[in-house]
Structure 1
Amino acid sequence: MKMKQIAYAISLLGIAGFVPALAAADQPEKVEKIEITGSSIKRITKEGALPVQVLKKEDIAKTGATSTVDLLQKLPTIQGSTGESASVGGGSFGFSGVSLHNIGETRTLVLLNGHRLALFGGQTLTGFAAGMDLNSIPISAIERVEVLTDGASALYGADAIAGVVNFITKRNTTDGDVTVGYSEPEQGGAKEKRITFTKGFGSMERDGFNVMISAAHDERTQLNSTQRDFAKTGKIFFGANGKNYRMQQFSASPIPANATDDLGQLINPYLKVNGSCPEKTFRVTEPYNDGSGLVDDYCGFDFVGELEIYPIRKRDSVMATANVALGENHELYVDALWSKTNQVSRIAPVPGSISIPAGSALHDKYLKPIGITGDSLAFYRMFDLGKRESNDTAKFIDLAIGVKGNYAGWDYNTVYTRSESDVEGKISGYPGARAVAKLRSSGLLDPFVGPGKQSAEAMKAINAANYNGYWDGGSSKLDTLSARGSSELFEMPSGMAMLGLGLSYQKEDFQSKPSLFAQGKLADPVAGTPCGAGVPCDQRFGDGSATVAYAADRTAYAGYAELILPAMDTLELSTALRYDNYSDFGGATTAKASFRWTPTRSFLLRGSVGNGFHAPTVPQVKAARQSYGVTSDKYICSAELAQVAAAQNARCQPGNRQYDQIAGGNALLQPEESRQATIGFRFEPTPAISFGADLWHVGISDVFGQLTEQEVFANPLRYPNSWGKTTDIGTGVDYLAFVADNQNLGKQYSTGLDIDISGRKKFGSVDFNSQFNTTYMIREVAQTQKNGPYYSSIGAIGELGAVTFRWQGRWTNSIKHGNWLHTLGVNFKAGYKDQATQAEVLNAAGNVVDYETLRLNVPSFFTYDWQTQWNFMKNAQVTVGVLNVLDRDPPLSISTGGANRGQQFGYDDRYYDSRGRTLYANFGYKF
């Protein structure tokens, strides 16, 4: 029988005949009662039927992590998450998410004290960033983190296909705590300072109430690419396979500008006259891919050297909880969180194209003398305008008001939550395309001179055209009302049968908020002058980014039930059934069945089987088709690509360039459906040693996604519906564009093994603790199109554009002696094959003699973290530590494409930290 049929059958047999009374048991509360052991050593008697990893407050401190983002990146079960570095040219609004087992951020449910949170207000129409922004949750307020690595819980939500991360905050405490800290990489950049304050008032037992408030502030400076040798330039030399190679990552829009000649080839007038390329560029010679024998010979701009590879960041947060006794058996509680994250990322000055008509002063001065007689296009970088800056602010508010207690033998919990994420993105360093065209036609702007060579009048005009203000953003709101409860049903020979029931209702709103400039509705973006009635509209120089504003909402309700049956003294069976109904997708029934068998006190066997249902986000369905950035890779116009461009009445991009993208919602998008199962054990031969492993499997059908650009550009005639065109407002040229609409691509299967080993030993007055956690990926395959072939990301970046590490883990060892605690952490990732990338082959003299497609072997990667805590007073503690003790640089990577990636080059910023050896110190005082 299929997993779904098995789960349904067991669930219906267990639940049928029982009459609901209140609402279902809340699994996070169960975890709180069962999983918390007060020790890093797990105990069989505390383990449940589902695999839950718990990080307590002291475990969090040992990692040296200073934020929730950094903390989760250290967990072996976390792969495929978006980090802060993705904002470097990536347009992420500073989003940082979490993905369990590389199954996806949109399929990993994040909870705060057991309730759902609003998705990120800056999520895009393709589903990127459609998760919870971890920057919103202050690490200082966390008491523990519970990670459920079994997905699609009928209790948590059928959409939690990958699993659940539940942050439990401090509450019911009268303690006070102040902590200040500072971090600084040894090589400079990314300096961080922080302060937190926590204080509780009142005792539930004595006063009948408790109020706790926690506030935190942290800020970090930028890290420039030039501060790291492995990231400072787009030109790198390396050896492999007994040969010498060169790889150049560049933009075809330099300063002074490149231009097109009468054959459409890309040339550089400065290079033609001087025989070499100017500063901050390097020479690029590339043959056409159409068999014509033509060769582009121009100057590529080294934009990598202009990047800030770690952005400036400031975060503020306030978390408050209040609990008030309502008689002996009931309690009113309120949880409130406010947070604000501001992130500033800067990249190279803006590039774009400028028309140079034949007979114009610029044409006669620079192009005619080198043989260009017709109209030309100049591909120019407005270096004198300064770097492009994205100043993003994300505000988050979460409020939960509830009543819990016991009534008529039922433990109940009813709660209303309001959660909201608001994102505002400001920009500077961007002029309007028509404004730049006017500067050229006026004779003020000269794109063929170097940095700082414009006239004083031209500089004044250039600065006056710089748009500095709000660009784009969005808001996401979630209102939820839920009731749940549990009670003993009847006595069985081996114990009491338990029933849990629940109902929930939620309303989700999303609104995109592009500025009038982003929508292409202004004639003068700086002055704010509207267009229309014969007044032409302007768009941002360098990209046709006319964003379409939209708003949409949905409602959903759910009912669920859980039954626990102690079938034998050593065997516990659990069943759960859930029904969800979405206003835009209808209803779906999901189920889960699990068991927990303990034949001896030292051995546990557990397993589960179930299915899930994941509706697409509101933007994925309802967003209008619009411009959506550019491709991650650059492409040369092949004969087939030229044929496709002609069919669109458009041109290929000249030279080796990125192409514009178009994307939009898809009203025909179908929900994803999943099947999953787990089987695992725990063995504790002695109270000091614990070993466990959980084998898990997830299969997903109708996976959301887009056809990869690499596949479409490699076979352009095979995908006629993946092409469109965009118009360069400044020049009026129509260019071929890649259409990346949302689709149901096919199926995806993931199987892996989570392993943990822990032990402790006392040597006189010295306590030694050791814990080893790792995830081994057995299988991960996915289709990039429906009914297409399957591809795997394990140990290689290929058609799926990312890598899934075969092995990933952390080994933590601690020694406690008196007032001292020393911790050594070892972090490791397996090696993999880099994405296939074309590189230049060099001879002994350093000259290019050939081109070759390489797949570099990226080696396994180990880093070591050290920390020492000294409790020099009863209420005071000093912690000092070093992250990446050996100062390991990220391994070499020459690939440039892939999802959720910034503009960094020379290493893969998605998987490795560019900060290097980092020293930190914290001082804490309790009162």
Structure 2
Amino acid sequence: MPAYAQDTAPAQQEDVAPVPDQTGPTEEGEAIVVTGSILRNADEGPSPVTTVTAEALDQRGVSTIQEGLQQLVSNNGPAITNSFTANGAFAAGASAVSLRGLTTNSTLVLFDGLRAAYYPLADDGTRNFVDLNTIPDDIVERVEVLRDGASSSYGADAIAGVVNIITRREFEGVLARAQAGISSRGDAAEYRLSLTTGVGDLDTNGMNGYISGFYYRSESLANNQRPYPYNTDDERGICFEDVCGPNNVVNGLNGDGEFDSGVLTVTPAIVRPVDPVTGAPTGARYQQLQANCGNLPSYTLTAAERAANPSTPTTVCQEDFTSLYGNIQPEIERFGGSARFTAAIGETSEAYAQVNFLQTTSSYFGATGVVRGNAPAAVRPRFSTSTAGQPFAPGSGPLRLPVYVCPERVNCATSPNRTLNPNNPFAAAGQAAELRARFPVRQFDETVNRAYRAAIGVRGDISDNFSYNVDATAMHTDLRRTFEGYVYIQHLLDVIADGTYNWRDPSANSQDVIDYVIPTNIQNSTSDLYQVQGVVSGTVAQLPGGPLQLGVGASIRYEGLDNPSANPDDNGPTQRYFEINSFGAVGNRTVRSVFAELNAPIIDSLDINLSGRYDSYSSGQDAFSPKIGARFEPFSWVALRGTYSQGFRIPSFGEANSFPTTGFVNASSGIYTDSYLAPYGCSRATFSTCPSYIRGSYGLTSLATPDLKPEKSRSFTLGLVVEPIRNVTLTVDYYNIRKTDAIVSADTSEAIAAYYAGQPIPAGFNVIADAPDPNNPTLRPRIAFVESGYINAARIDSEGLDLGVTTTFDITDNIRWTSAAQATYIINLSQTQNDQTLSFEGTLGNYNLTAGSGTPEWRGSWQNTFDFGDFALTGTANYFDGYNLSAEDQFGPGTSGQCGFDPGFVPCDVDSYITFDLVGNWRINDNYDLYLTMLNVLDEMPPVDPVTYGAARYNPVQGGLGILGRYFKVGVKANF
């Protein structure tokens, strides 16, 4: 099913990006294969297809194909952006689209119609996808986005749609590009260099070969490089109807200037005396081990504040996580090379061979402080359990500095080599010290992904009526992920027992001691794909409307994933790292497929298309996917089109072959009972006043389920294409997708409710309690983790409209105006499970899947280009709808629009977001083009959203590149 990269796209496709439904013949009327079909056809098919050309992306000022795909209006919900992965995302270093809001695993990404290897890390530890950063930008001719189910052509995962990356068939000459960009604030710089050169003309020489190489770099951007409120944890300046936000700076002051947070500092180390055997406090108030707060601000409590906070040190250190450690985007470096050779074989056939290599490095220091594991390593009672719920030491509980230390590290109280613990100020009095501290080492995360791909193929004519094509591809990815600054639990216990780590003066520790406590963790993962397929197609009869075409094909492919856990649970409770998630998956499978397609032009105005595919998996699953489509043109200026299809998604390696996977979600009032909250001094109605211990995140740990069934889907589309006058096209497409047997984590609400009500936990669940609240140590602890397996139990519905208008007019002999407006409206995105339907459109839901980035109902763009001959000016308006601060997966059915997450100091509806981009292209002469870009011309910052946890007080999907502010690019292209 390659959509032949060899065939030239229609000239009008290059006018704007994206152009909907321009997938018919070339200007010469040559028949081509479009995405979603195996037939060569000069007519448009029944499915809606958006075509994005490389030239059009240049017009829009887009630097990479990845960036352009993220701007698709049909991309919604739980997409993965490069900026989001700088905040501790599971699939760090990657980018992926989510068509129709159906998550990254329901959108299939192809290279020249062939599958690509999965990214070794899974979205949320479970969803396999293809990383958009592996696209070789400078050899891409166009991208076709099929906005329809396509399992009948491509098999698994093509439920919401297909993104087909189509590379150049041939290139002759030299094309060089240099580009640089920087924000108006002088930061977030980016650079791009590329060179492509080719020789030969297929038509005249019978051969063509080209090579291409590129380098791309994007500098990191920290939160403290952007204005308030994106640069701090202090929300006191965010106010709505006379209610202002809290100061979330650790040990920060209230709006009235008083201290009452009760949050204990962990920088520098603080201790209080406890009984060395029972651990019971023998002194209530903590004290600092170090003389001062170093570079952090300090505050000395008043007598009244000390009385109200009996365990807080007299002087506290204030730590603004977002300002100190927050990242908006990582540092990204990409480089690679491609080569292709194509040659004619006789008069009717040709063969090609292509290789690609890309390396992408994404790295960052710190994070927002909202996501666990990305600020300097902490040691405190809150983290007395590991990420997947294992206690880090026998008996769990807070860390203690013992009375005695010794080289043997065990039985120090009776060791002849014992000495009083130099870090314990209470040792001489025979008391242990309960410890809370933070290591003075910032955590560093880096992913280096190397992708190797090769493809070969041959195509030609069997006879006057039949043609064939055979293609093979192999792709291998190597991913190295480096974690620095993460504490290894056993080594921490070792240096506590032998006294070799200096808690009083961390700067006095040797590098050897620091490296022992915080050793570098390197995780190596791989992913592989091998595929061979063949297609025979041609005309079998003549019908009144034209040739009856039939295509048949077969395919075999191998998929393999080896992603070992970077922090496996089965090493034991102490042979692990703090805060590195344990997720991972290892598996492989072979897939055998046969498929066919029939296109019948019944009459001149009516085409019927039938297709089907059968897939058989070595893991025991199989599926048949049929599809029927029709296109009816009663008049030359109007066409009706529609499709009905069935599809499937195979269980991912992360669902069927994974290690335990934990995702963290922020606690909401809905998970508690008033009787449980009462001893903590708050209620569900006053949840924002609850202690931060209660409002913190908890882990949902999912366990692999090997016997899962495939998810099944049925979808249909119905569209109208109208050209009321020449060069004006209007399109309206309705889509309706339903997934059944959807794979979800078991509903944990009953288990959570049972725990907080003090009742037995239901079968199939395991609830792990957190360490007690240090300020309320006798109260029942909150939940730290809930463990459960995956199940085929849900139904997911996605329904909406795609709207498009394109126009092209010659205003004068020298001025041409091209305009394209596109919008997607989500009517319904919902999930039904246990006879309860949760609706997410227009809200932050599905909160667990989208990291709180939500499901806005509308997304749109409007692009206008004025071409003056040697100069063209393009303006693009980008619209991202607002949404309500609610999510029914957190607050239950019927709570949509009720502002369940509303903290009170912002409106419960986040504003919509509009940005405007301007690009000028100047053709200096036949060989040189200069282009100037101004993104976000009005310097509009994203709307304030204090709830989305993928970024600091804004939505990283809605905000997109807008958080960079006004941004300038300049570039030059040389073509010889």
Same fold (TM over 0.5): yes
Distance 2:285 2:48 in 1: 61
From the two aligned structures, give the one with the greater strand fraction: 1
Q: Which amino acid aligns with 1:889?
A: M
Report the alpha carbon displacement of residue 159 of structure 1 after superposing the two structures with TM: 2.7
Report the alpha carbon displacement of residue 561 of structure 1 after superposing the two structures with TM: 1.0
User: Matched residue of 2:322: which SS?
Assistant: helix
Q: Which amino acid aligns with 1:607?
A: G
CA contact (8 A) 1:125 1:620 kept: no
Q: Does 1:910 align with 2:957?
A: yes
TM-score of the two chains, using structure 2 as the length reference = 0.78
CA contact (8 A) 1:776 1:807 kept: yes
2:321 aligns with 303
User: Matched residue of 1:805: which SS?
Assistant: coil
1:499 aligns with 550
CA contact (8 A) 1:640 1:716 kept: no
CA contact (8 A) 1:424 1:470 kept: no
1:396 aligns with 451
Aligned match for 1:739, one of 787, 793, 796: 787
**Per-residue Cα deviation, 1:337-363 (whole angstroms, up to 9, x for no partner):** 111001111112111236225757789
2:260 aligns with none
**Per-residue Cα deviation, 1:402-453 (whole angstroms, up to 9, x for no partner):** 1111103322111111112221101222232232333334445455x6xxx4
Q: Once the two structures are aligned, what percentage of the paired residues are identical?
A: 23
Q: Which amino acid aligns with 1:245?
A: G
1:543 aligns with 579
2:248 aligns with 248
**Closer, same or farther: CA 330–304 of 1 in aligned 2, 3 Å:** same
Distance 1:97 1:769 in 2: 30
**Per-residue Cα deviation, 1:254-303 (whole angstroms, up to 9, x for no partner):** 31246688788998735999999993689999xxxxxxx99986877432
User: Matched residue of 2:203: which SS?
Assistant: coil
Q: Does 1:481 align with 2:532?
A: yes
Report the alpha carbon displacement of residue 799 of structure 1 after superposing the two structures with TM: 5.3
Aligned match for 1:406, one of 439, 461, 466: 461
CA contact (8 A) 1:176 1:197 kept: yes
Which has the larger displacement, 655-664 or 628-637? 628-637
Distance 1:752 1:213 in 2: 42
1:471 aligns with 522
**Closer, same or farther: CA 280–399 of 1 in aligned 2, 3 Å:** farther
Which has the larger displacement, 64-73 or 632-641? 632-641
1:3 aligns with none
1:352 aligns with 379
2:438 aligns with 381
User: Matched residue of 2:599: which SS?
Assistant: strand
1:112 aligns with 111
CA contact (8 A) 1:44 1:601 kept: no
2:471 aligns with 415
Q: Does 1:269 align with 2:316?
A: no
CA contact (8 A) 1:710 1:799 kept: no
Report the alpha carbon displacement of residue 598 of structure 1 after superposing the two structures with TM: 0.7
**Closer, same or farther: CA 836–503 of 1 in aligned 2, 3 Å:** closer
Report the alpha carbon displacement of residue 222 of structure 1 after superposing the two structures with TM: 1.2
**Closer, same or farther: CA 546–684 of 1 in aligned 2, 3 Å:** closer
Report the alpha carbon displacement of residue 36 of structure 1 after superposing the two structures with TM: 6.5
* Structural mapping, 1:19-34, within 5 Å: 26=1, 28-29=3-4
In structure 2, stretches of 5+ residues that fail to align are 25-42, 251-262, 275-279, 303-307, 367-374, 381-397, 405-419, 680-690, 775-780, 891-901
1:335 aligns with 354
The CA RMSD measured in Å over matched residues stands at: 4.0
1:529 aligns with none
2:389 aligns with none
2:332 aligns with 313
1:87 aligns with 85
**Closer, same or farther: CA 653–437 of 1 in aligned 2, 3 Å:** farther
Distance 2:698 2:311 in 1: 18
2:146 aligns with 148
Report the alpha carbon displacement of residue 610 of structure 1 after superposing the two structures with TM: 1.1
Q: Which amino acid aligns with 2:635?
A: T
Report the alpha carbon displacement of residue 378 of structure 1 after superposing the two structures with TM: 2.7
1:895 aligns with 947
**Per-residue Cα deviation, 1:18-37 (whole angstroms, up to 9, x for no partner):** xxxxxxxx372499688665
1:778 aligns with 827
* Structural mapping, 1:90-101, within 5 Å: 90-101=89-100
Q: Which amino acid aligns with 2:379?
A: G
Q: Which amino acid aligns with 2:766?
A: W
**Per-residue Cα deviation, 1:583-642 (whole angstroms, up to 9, x for no partner):** 1133211110010011111111100011111111123202233x6465555999987699
Q: Does 1:878 align with 2:930?
A: yes
Q: Which amino acid aligns with 2:44?
A: E
**Closer, same or farther: CA 744–657 of 1 in aligned 2, 3 Å:** same
**Closer, same or farther: CA 752–920 of 1 in aligned 2, 3 Å:** same
Q: Which amino acid aligns with 1:866?
A: L
Distance 2:299 2:470 in 1: 65
Give the count of matched residue pairs: 840
Q: Which amino acid aligns with 1:302?
A: D
Report the alpha carbon displacement of residue 156 of structure 1 after superposing the two structures with TM: 2.3
Q: Which amino acid aligns with 2:56?
A: D
Q: Which amino acid aligns with 1:803?
A: G
TM-score of the two chains, using structure 1 as the length reference = 0.82
Report the alpha carbon displacement of residue 72 of structure 1 after superposing the two structures with TM: 0.9
2:883 aligns with 832
**Per-residue Cα deviation, 1:806-834 (whole angstroms, up to 9, x for no partner):** 11111101111131111111001111112
CA contact (8 A) 2:233 2:249 kept: yes
Report the alpha carbon displacement of residue 400 of structure 1 after superposing the two structures with TM: 1.1
Distance 2:887 2:51 in 1: 39
2:815 aligns with 766
Q: Which has the higher contact order (CA 8 A, sep 6+)?
A: 1
CA contact (8 A) 2:841 2:857 kept: no
Distance 1:637 1:109 in 2: 39
Which has the larger displacement, 432-441 or 229-238? 432-441
User: Matched residue of 1:380: which SS?
Assistant: strand
2:856 aligns with 805
Distance 1:610 1:810 in 2: 29
Q: Which amino acid aligns with 1:394?
A: N
Q: Which amino acid aligns with 1:772?
A: A
Distance 1:265 1:187 in 2: 53
Aligned match for 1:860, one of 904, 909, 912: 912
CA contact (8 A) 2:646 2:713 kept: yes
* Structural mapping, 1:433-832, within 5 Å: 433-445=489-501, 447=503, 453-454=505-506, 456=508, 458-460=509-511, 462-465=513-516, 467=518, 469-514=520-565, 518-519=567-568, 538-540=575-577, 542-543=578-579, 551-625=586-660, 628=662, 630-631=664-665, 657-659=696-698, 662-706=701-745, 716=755, 720=762, 721-725=764-768, 736-739=784-787, 741-764=789-812, 765-783=814-832, 785-797=833-845, 801-832=852-883
Report the alpha carbon displacement of residue 861 of structure 1 after superposing the two structures with TM: 0.5
1:48 aligns with 45
User: Matched residue of 2:603: which SS?
Assistant: coil
CA contact (8 A) 1:520 1:537 kept: no
